[in-house]
Structures are given as C-alpha cells and as structure tokens.
Amino acid sequence: MTVPDLICVLDTDGVPVTNPFYEKGQGLVVFALPAPEQWTTQKGLEVFGPKSFGFDMEYVPFTEKQRG
C-alpha cells in the first residue's frame, strides 16, 4: 500500500491519528481507500505517486483483491 491510495489510521474510538501523534502500544485501526482517479493518471502520479516521495517503486492500485 502506498500513495496515492489513502492509508487511514484511527484509534479505537474512531479518532484519526497522524504520524506525530501515535504512541507505542496504542490500539489502532489501519485501513485503505482507493485513490481518487485524478491521482492515478500519469501526471497525478508524477506529483503524488511513490516516486515523488523518493520511493523506488511503481504504484500498484489498491483493490479489494489485495485485502488481507
């Protein structure tokens, strides 16, 4: 799972948690949502794809088949 798909993190009360605010041992729920279509275009991926963050990987869209 990687950008531009949406990686969402909530605490066990359903409150969003961002990276700087999680705590070791905290109960979290992590789930993903497919990226909006405009981010999956060639131009969208150039701006907001994995490579734009320095990751050496291709974007593979999140799908229901990838659920674990």
* Angstrom distance (rounded) from CA 14 to CA 55: 30
What pLDDT, on the 0 to 100 scale, is given for residue 64?
55
Q: If 0-12 CB within 10 Å is exposed, 13-18 middle and 19+ buried, where does residue 49 land?
A: buried
**Mean pLDDT within 9-22:** 92
In the predicted structure, residue 62 carries a pLDDT above the cut 70: yes
Among positive and negative, which fits the CA dihedral 37, 40, 43, 44?
Answer: positive
Percent of the chain exceeding pLDDT 70 equals 93
- Is the pLDDT score of 68 beyond 80? no
pTM for this predicted structure: 0.74
Tokens standing for 4?
């531009």
- Give start and end residues of each alpha helix (H) in 1-61: 42-48
DSSP state of 17: -
